[in-house]
Amino acid sequence: MLFFFLLFSSCSNNADQWTDLLNYKDFLDWENNVYPPPDKVQTEEEMVDSAKHFLAPKGYLSDDPKKSVFRYEIIDSKKMLVISGETMGFLTTKKSYQNYDLKMKFKYGKKWKWLGKRPRDGGIIYPMTSEKNREFNIHDGDIGSYWSFGCIADIPCVKSDQLPKSVKDITPIMKSFIPSLKDSMFLFDPSGKLDSFGLAIPEKQICVANPISDKPIGEWNELELISFGDTAIHIVNGNVVMVLLHCRYKKGNQYVPLREGQISFQSEGGEMFVEYIRLKHIDKIPDGILKNIKFKL
């Protein structure tokens, strides 16, 4: 039996080492990719798919979503990034990063009607590549859950039917093409068995954040993503809610450690006001993050 000893507590950081990835003027350092539907509509109700699939908008409402989905505005007397959520889009760093600590402070705004009963949604995709990405899901009700779109990771977990309402709400809408969405799913549990999660692993594309650490709608959340070597840690409002070990992807017939890549911020139906996105490079997992928690193989 192999044991991993990991600690979950906050760590102190030297503030002058942090760099804000936003310049609050333009997106010259970013790839700004927005995917509006083909037709403009006059009302938000017309954006809802007639079959009520609630997966993507049928039409767009703003004059130019490619300019408005990601934009800067004055919010609470400060200039911030606004992610409108009107349609699907990704704001992606042009640079590739490895061995970093990233912090993002945000609060939710409106929920677009095309989401139906789905909670507000967004995400941090790291790295932003088709064959190996992974998501720090910013899903109202289970922020920090892991979704795989290519990456394979080992996660200490337990299977449970005690799921957050947010996951129960999306299950009937999305279960036809997301096999992991069931009445019982896997939750991150530092005392649980280490198991592998990935897009191609039946019932294990998703591992749900635990504990649920979201703030109520309208309050600020601080998210922290630590990526060091092939380990990644999701932290929500100071609480570790997910640890990914041995992150890897398949290249030919071999598995390759996943250690670096571009970082992308998603628009998906939930408006978000982002006060900052700060990043600093690290040469180890910060002291105090990994200690005294036992992962069993």
Residue 173's nearest CA partner among 53, 85, 50, 45 is 53
Q: Per-residue pLDDT tens for 142-186? A: 999 999 999 999 999 999 999 999 999 999 999 999 999 999 999
Token pair of 70 as six digits: 């990601």
> How many residues are present in the chain?
297
Q: What's the CA gap between 91 and 234, in Å, rounded? A: 20
DSSP β-ladder status, 30-35 and 70-75: unpaired
Q: What's the CA gap between 164 and 137, in Å, rounded? A: 14
Token pair of 85 as six digits: 């959520």
Instruction: Indicate the fold that domain 3-296 takes in CATH.
Output: Jelly Rolls (2.60.120)
- Quote the pLDDT of residue 10: 40
* Other Cβ atoms closer than 10 A to 64: 11
State the average pLDDT over residues 246-270: 95
pLDDT above 70: residue 294? no
Stretch among 98-102, 123-127, 249-253 having the lowest mean pLDDT: 249-253
Q: Per-residue pLDDT tens for 45-91? A: 999 998 889 999 999 999 999 999 999 999 999 999 999 999 999 99
Residue extents of the structural domains in the chain: 3-296
Confidence band of 202 (pLDDT split at 50, 70, 90): confident
Mean pLDDT (the chain) is 92
Token pair of 244 as six digits: 């990914």
